[in-house]
Structure 1
Amino acid sequence: MSKLLTVDPLTRIEGHMSVETAVESGKVSEVRIAGNMYRGFERMLLGRHPVDSARIAQRICGVCHEVHGVSSVMALEQIFGITPPANGIILRDMILGLHIVTDHILHFYNLCLPDYVNLSSAAGYNGKDRDLRNISDWLSSSGTAFMQNRTEGNYIKDKDSARRFALNYFEAIKIRSQAAGGLAILGAKVPFIHALMPGGITTEITTDALMKYYRALDATAEFVSSSFMPDVIEIAQRFPEYFDIGEAYNTFYAHQSFNSAKGDLFTQGVIADGEKVDFDYNKVKELIGSSYYKADGSPDENAEGAYSWIKAPRYDGIPLETGPIARAAVGNDEEFKSLLRRLGQKSIKSSVMGRLLARAHESVMLCNYLYGRTEEYVIGKPAIRAVDLQAPVSGEGIGFSVAARGALVHHITAYKGKVTDYKMIVPSTWNFGPTVDGRLGVAEKAVLGTPVNYGGVSGSIEVGRVIRSFDPCTACSIH
């Protein structure tokens, strides 16, 4: 007889998600993952001037905001027929790259780490470290979920480890704040930057501003190399079974992005049937057979057979996984493969631990790339190419860009200064799209077969680990 486990809502993610599983013989035998809140940004933008999307699209999410602005602006530049000057593209990379690194840090420490470490074990410290004493006092007196209602599971509980992880948990918050200051220097505001426009970046960058950004980048890079990467490696060493848990289809999808004179940091492509092919946007379809929509894209909460507000993207009929693990696989990243080999893994494959390691590894790559971009910026040269932002433009533009969670597309169609169609295909839509025509979505496939050794009314810690390894953003996926 199967055991039913339901988590609604799933916590420590962005947005609203529920998970239903059936467990037989100690493994997940059935799974259904649903996005639970309609957002409607695509329809909200209809009839507006296309340039409005540079602001409104950033409001899709409270975590990954800048990424939508960049993709939207890239689409707008195609409609306007303009290309930013070199400085504008460099600044855009500097904003996008540092934001993605901080997003990875947030995911690991503040959203994911509590699945592996019992941070409440850091309480009871009476030593000389002032930060640890403060954390210990807070854990003992705050009455937060660190101390209450933990899902049953196999956590790291030894005090020395818990205290080290707890220190980095709170340090991650400080680093994200410092990095946000650097982003605000370039973007004029964080979150939801205002300086990002079709044609480049409007901020006037002085030597002092560039140095402030550099200091924020330096602090972030130091944390990534000295704490983030070692901590992820330790989790991988302590939970090696998760290299074989959470495997989806091993079909991957990535966009070309972060392009400098030294080459592309990430390359484009699709891996299906074990072979890499060039990405063809014409092969992408968003299926709605299990989603609450009518054929015209309007919401329909009574749609027959529907169970999620997330659509189901397919590439030539195939579900694709996207994210840092996909970027590493599509790019055939030799350094990442070397890291995996040191941890006893033979190749890049879809798994819980592969996703966590890929984020940390990618953060190192991005920080190194951003150091180079700061050196390429030329003080005194323009960062914006002027364009008539009120022009009654007509045309079509597609912004193929990148977010922390994977490949991102904003597709704008305009006629006489009005948006007639706006389509976003975001990473979490790919990863968390529902089952259609009998074929599970990517995350559903990853959860299926997960061993469940712990489980109760609050759900399974193992299932939670699989789902959070994708860093779900249902606010974005239900757009």
Structure 2
Amino acid sequence: MKTVDIVERIEGEAKLVCQWNKEKISDVKIQFLNFRGFEFILKDKPALDALVYTPRICGICGQAHLKATVEALENIYKNHNEELILTKKAKLLREIGLNIEIIDSHIKWFYMFIMPDIVKFSQNNLAEYTPLKGKKWLEASMIASETIKSLALIGGQWPHTSYMIPGGVMSDPTLLDLISMQNYMDQAIIFFENSLVGIKLDNYLDFKKSEDLYKVKGDLKDFITISFENEFEKIGKSYNRHLVLGDSLSFEKGKINRKLTKNISYENIEELTLNSFDIDKSKISKEAYTWSKTALYSNNFYETGPLSRAIVQNRDFVNDIHRKYKDSMFTRILARMDELGFLLFKTKELIKQIDINEDSFIKPKVSLSDFKYGFGQSAVEACRGSLYHDIEIENGIISKYDVITPTVWNLGPGIEDKLSTSQKAIIGTDSLAKAKLILRSFDVCSVCTTH
């Protein structure tokens, strides 16, 4: 039997095509069918124009694309032995901006994309999670809107800001701005404590063992209870290989394939198009069924995202849950909400480190247009996982721009006899509702995937 289902509320939509055998999914294809073409739009544009275009790839992770772009452009300078000077203040403001975006996204994802579907598996009346009118849904929407205001203080109107440029940032916050940012973070922390986990943030961050799950109260307890009632800790498992490409003040790069290694090389990244559509119809293979490409690292599929970041960074609580329940749907969702608490604490600490007397921007000594040829690469950690940008320029004009988004890593098509990370996670599931939840557990972004 074959079923075809449209999955919405994923920053766009995708088509889930499942083959069934003995009441279980035996094969699955995830089709992203809405092509956007940013890589083609960027070609022949001045290099700095990318700072305006790429944040518009996504309405959720514009900061991540902006940071990836500016770091790729700065990498061009480095490759010409013209490395730029970045002040600590500029680095902090970039990191804080990205962290706030991730915090905002995680709140929205849990309450707007996960819990409305999770509660359908409960026998209890949990109408407070009902989209658009449920009490908990509305509270989460309000606090997310308040939290993102702290980003506006340093970056302007979110999500499509362009305040990061080679050499620093076009932002010079006052002491009052920093105090306001701290206040917005405090509001988010109060929401985390009172609504999400029901305990103080400091106490939550002290959790070390999976048994500490039973200390969680609040809305996260609802998720945990429903998950164990329906054995969500047993489904959604994939290869249990994890990749973190970005290295920052908040996260550490590395990969796990049986064992952890911190040695990451962009040369091991491979992007394939065997199952992907092409604007040149003569290049489309018979196997093509999606606009998403396939991303491999060292010829293997890897998961990327908050779960990967937590275990690469060796954060005790998630590490122990992962040790017990592996890369299950339950672990994947729990890790994302754990990262919310981690980033709330981390971002407050980063704001405290800003010296308002430092320069925000130091102008490059040479222009990108002075380089006859240049290439640059970068990777940052976006809300959904590792985001990779690769740019080539000629006389300051973009000749090639390539982007690999987190959803391409997680949900791109399998290749030949290799299942993708999400395909392997879904196959074997006994219901379409569970398959959709597994899909959502990766925090899917359709528009990023078909950029």
Q: Scaled by the length of structure 1, what TM-score is found?
A: 0.83
Q: What secondary structure, in the 3-state scheme, does the structure 2 residue paired with 1:257 have?
A: coil
Pick the aligned partner of 1:169 from 137, 156, 159: 137
Separation in 2, partners of 1:268, 1:33: 28
Structure-2 change in CA distance of 1:244 and 1:313 (3 Å):
same
Structure 2 residue 190 is the aligned partner of structure 1 residue 222: yes
Structure 2 residue 443 is the aligned partner of structure 1 residue 441: no
8 Å contact kept, 2:380–2:386: yes
Paired position in structure 2 for 1:94: 96
Paired position in structure 2 for 1:283: 268
Residues 203-352 of structure 1 aligned to structure 2 (within 5 Å): 203-229=171-197, 230-240=218-228, 241-259=231-249, 265-276=250-261, 278-293=263-278, 302-338=284-320, 340=321, 346-347=323-324, 349-352=326-329
Mean Cα displacement is larger for which, 242-251 or 186-195? 186-195
Separation in 1, partners of 2:75, 2:49: 15
Structure 2 residue 47 is the aligned partner of structure 1 residue 50: yes
**Deviation for aligned residue 1:463:** 1.1
8 Å contact kept, 1:232–1:356: no
Separation in 1, partners of 2:282, 2:352: 51
8 Å contact kept, 2:119–2:226: no
**Deviation for aligned residue 1:161:** 6.8
- Which amino acid in 2 is paired with 1:469? S
Separation in 1, partners of 2:283, 2:235: 34
Q: What secondary structure, in the 3-state scheme, does the structure 2 residue paired with 1:234 have?
A: helix
In the alignment, structure 2 segments of 5+ residues that lack a partner are 78-82, 198-217
**Deviation for aligned residue 1:337:** 2.9
Paired position in structure 2 for 1:31: 28
Paired position in structure 1 for 2:85: 83
**Deviation for aligned residue 1:78:** 1.7
Higher helix share: 2
8 Å contact kept, 2:391–2:401: yes
Q: What secondary structure, in the 3-state scheme, does the structure 2 residue paired with 1:6 have?
A: strand
Paired position in structure 2 for 1:144: none
Paired position in structure 1 for 2:80: none
Residues 420-459 of structure 1 aligned to structure 2 (within 5 Å): 420-452=399-431
In the alignment, structure 1 segments of 5+ residues that lack a partner are 119-153, 260-264, 453-459
Structure 2 residue 451 is the aligned partner of structure 1 residue 463: no
Q: Scaled by the length of structure 2, what TM-score is found?
A: 0.88
Paired residue total: 421
Pick the aligned partner of 1:384 from 356, 361, 383: 361
Paired position in structure 1 for 2:66: 69
Separation in 2, partners of 1:242, 1:336: 16
Paired position in structure 2 for 1:16: 13
**Deviation for aligned residue 1:212:** 1.5
Q: Percent identity?
A: 27
Separation in 2, partners of 1:347, 1:329: 13
8 Å contact kept, 2:118–2:226: no
Structure-2 change in CA distance of 1:437 and 1:277 (3 Å):
farther
Q: What secondary structure, in the 3-state scheme, does the structure 2 residue paired with 1:104 have?
A: helix
Mean Cα displacement is larger for which, 421-430 or 393-402? 393-402
Structure-2 change in CA distance of 1:191 and 1:323 (3 Å):
same
Structure 2 residue 6 is the aligned partner of structure 1 residue 4: no
8 Å contact kept, 1:116–1:156: no
Separation in 2, partners of 1:94, 1:275: 27
Separation in 1, partners of 2:367, 2:140: 39
Paired position in structure 2 for 1:190: 158
Separation in 1, partners of 2:317, 2:258: 24
Pick the aligned partner of 1:404 from 383, 392, 395: 383
- Which amino acid in 1 is paired with 2:318? F
Backbone CA RMSD of aligned residues: 2.2
Mean Cα displacement is larger for which, 269-278 or 240-249? 269-278
**Deviation for aligned residue 1:54:** 1.0
Structure-2 change in CA distance of 1:258 and 1:369 (3 Å):
farther
Q: What secondary structure, in the 3-state scheme, does the structure 1 residue paired with 2:301 have?
A: coil
**Deviation for aligned residue 1:349:** 2.2
Paired position in structure 2 for 1:127: none
